[in-house]
């Protein structure tokens, strides 16, 4: 699936109901908590994608029992973590940043590596934090080797998490298993994607862990038990956005069933963003329904807390009537690729007018033409190209296979939405 994919062009307004798979963020957090729990857990409707399969495989390599239930659930039986083990992180930030704090509880050597681009993603913050808490680690980025001692003293650690909220979440998820728990203090520019940390804290509390997040930029996890439980995984709201965007750019109507009334997912902001672009958005018993306008409006938006939505918003901005400015997302230069540079390059490649800024990008209206859209091995870049291809004939995405990171069969879902056989 890494070959050229011709993005289908819609022959009219898109009308569809599109069930989306479970949340990657919730699935991988639940897997870590289940592996560290005192008893068995079950994950119902988990996402089965490359990132979550990598997380499950890594935990199995460390001694956790994970089996598939008849309904597609994951049944998790925790065991004491052990090495020697090899962990393939792929391009999954949740694996490379959530697993080392858990693997520090193992006895034995654990080697971490991943895809080529994963080796340049920032890792020093989490590795140095673990060293400060008592871990023995060789290396500053992937690949690195953790020499597990069977536990960590834990305690207080100060980090700069301005590059990724995952640094905080990774430490919190395993902190209850450290002898002294963990207190994480952030010292630096504002932490991006704070809703992801709120998700982590909420899930820890659901598992019976005592967490104090009452002070800004400080999180305290008390040492103690992590309860095994049933986790019911919400639909991935960020992955829903490309399908809702299909309604926005074609003047159609798309419904995502099972949309939660309240959520800690950053993708919960999708409705508000699409409304600001001129869409009609309704949340009711059917789910979240988006009806597209005749023409999209430009918008000025700070996406610091919802930065994973940036590629989709940029694609919509490239098709809007007015100028759009996306701010607060400087940290996405360190994601699967430099997403700011990639978005500007690809919008301009198709004849658009996009410009990098210090913390984001500006997109001005200009007619687009067909051509190749490069994905840079980045799932959200690939889906952005698919959105533009709905209304711009002749767009091809060079690596649609990158979407398997979080959506098992994006091309199939896209074709079904469009009624293409």
- Is the bond into 143 cis (omega within 30 degrees of 0)? yes
Q: Outline where 78-123 has alpha helix (H).
A: 93-103
What integer is the mean pLDDT of 254-282?
Answer: 95
Residues of each annotated binding site for phosphoenolpyruvate: 24, 93, 121, 166, 339, 380, 405
Domains of the chain and any CATH numbers: 5-21+237-418 (3.65.10.10), 24-221 (3.65.10.10)
- Is the bond into 270 cis (omega within 30 degrees of 0)? no
The answer to whether the beta carbons of residues 103 and 59 sit under 8 Å apart is no
Cα separation, 373 vs 185, in Å, equals 41
Count Cβ atoms below 10 Å from residue 19 Cβ, excluding itself.
13
Residues of each annotated binding site for 3-phosphoshikimate: 24-25, 29, 164-166, 193, 308, 335
What integer is the mean pLDDT of 99-104?
Answer: 98
What integer is the mean pLDDT of 252-260?
Answer: 97
Condensed to tens digits (0 to 9), the pLDDT of residues 102-157 reads 999 999 999 999 999 899 988 999 999 999 999 999 999 999 999 999 999 999 99
Q: What is the pLDDT of residue 1?
A: 44
Does the annotation mark 308 as catalytic? yes
Residue with tokens 């009334």: 261
Contacts of residue 120, defined as CB under 8 A and 6 or more positions apart, other chains included, come to: 141
Q: Is the pLDDT of residue 264 over 50?
A: yes
DSSP code string of 349-402: HTT-EEEEETTEEEEE------EEE--TT-HHHHHHHHHHHTTSTTEEETTGGG
Give me the residues paired with residue 396 across strands: 6, 372
Condensed to tens digits (0 to 9), the pLDDT of residues 6-22 reads 999 999 999 999 999 99
Please state whether beta strands 253-256 and 218-221 pair in parallel, antiparallel, or not at all (unpaired): unpaired
Q: What is the pLDDT of residue 6?
A: 96
Q: Is the pLDDT of residue 30 over 70?
A: yes
Condensed to tens digits (0 to 9), the pLDDT of residues 330-382 reads 999 987 789 999 999 999 999 999 999 999 999 999 999 999 999 999 999 99
Q: Please state, rounded to an integer, the average pLDDT across all residues of the chain.
A: 96
Condensed to tens digits (0 to 9), the pLDDT of residues 173-229 reads 999 999 999 999 999 999 998 999 999 999 999 999 999 999 999 999 999 999 999
Q: Which of 253, 306, 308, 336 is catalytic?
A: 308
Nearest partner of 415 among 243, 266, 224, judged by Cα: 243
Q: What is the pLDDT of residue 421?
A: 57
Nearest partner of 302 among 334, 330, 265, 339, judged by Cα: 330
Condensed to tens digits (0 to 9), the pLDDT of residues 311-326 reads 999 999 999 999 999 9
Residues of each annotated binding site: 24-25, 29, 93, 121, 164-166, 193, 308, 335, 339, 380, 405
């Amino acid at each position: 699936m890494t070959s050229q994919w011709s993005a289908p062009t819609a022959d009219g307004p898109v009308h569809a109901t599109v069930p989306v798979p479970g949340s990657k963020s919730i699935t991988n957090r639940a897997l870590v908590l289940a592996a560290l729990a005192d008893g068995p857990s079950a994950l119902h409707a988990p996402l089965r994608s490359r990132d979550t399969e990598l997380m499950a495989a890594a935990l199995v390599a460390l001694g956790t029992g994970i089996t598939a239930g008849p309904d597609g659930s994951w049944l998790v039986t925790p065991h004491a973590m052990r090495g020697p083990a090899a962990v393939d992180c792929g391009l999954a930030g949740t694996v490379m940043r959530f697993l080392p704090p858990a693997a520090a509880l193992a006895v034995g050597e654990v080697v971490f590596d991943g895809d080529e681009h994963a080796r340049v993603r920032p890792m020093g913050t989490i590795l140095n934090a673990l060293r400060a808490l008592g871990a023995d680690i060789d290396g500053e980025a992937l690949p690195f080797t953790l020499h597990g001692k069977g536990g960590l003293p834990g305690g207080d650690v100060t980090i700069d998490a301005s590059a990724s909220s995952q640094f905080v979440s990774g430490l919190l998820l395993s902190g209850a298993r450290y002898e002294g728990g963990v207190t994480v203090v952030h010292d630096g520019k504002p932490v991006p994607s704070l809703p992801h940390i709120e998700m982590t804290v909420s899930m820890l509390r659901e598992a019976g862990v005592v967490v104090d997040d009452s002070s800004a930029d400080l999180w305290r996890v008390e040492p103690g038990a992590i309860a095994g439980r049933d986790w019911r995984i919400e639909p991935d709201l960020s992955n829903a956005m490309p399908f809702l965007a299909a309604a926005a750019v074609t003047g159609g109507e798309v419904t995502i069933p099972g949309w939660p009334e309240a959520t800690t997912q950053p993708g919960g902001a999708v409705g508000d963003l699409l409304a600001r672009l001129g869409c009609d958005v309704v949340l009711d018993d059917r789910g979240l329904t988006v009806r597209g306008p005749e023409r999209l409006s430009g918008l000025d938006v700070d996406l610091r807390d919802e930065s994973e939505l940036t590629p989709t918003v940029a694609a919509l901005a490239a098709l809007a009537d007015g100028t759009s400015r996306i701010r607060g997302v400087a940290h996405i230069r360190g994601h699967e690729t430099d997403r700011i540079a990639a978005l500007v390059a690809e919008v301009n490649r198709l004849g658009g007018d996009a410009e990098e800024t210090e913390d984001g990008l500006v997109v001005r209206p200009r007619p687009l033409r067909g051509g190749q859209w490069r994905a840079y091995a980045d799932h959200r870049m690939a889906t952005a190209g698919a959105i533009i291809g709905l209304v711009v004939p002749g767009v091809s995405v060079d690596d649609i296979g990158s979407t398997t990171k979080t959506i098992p069969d994006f091309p199939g879902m896209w074709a079904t939405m469009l009624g293409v056989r």
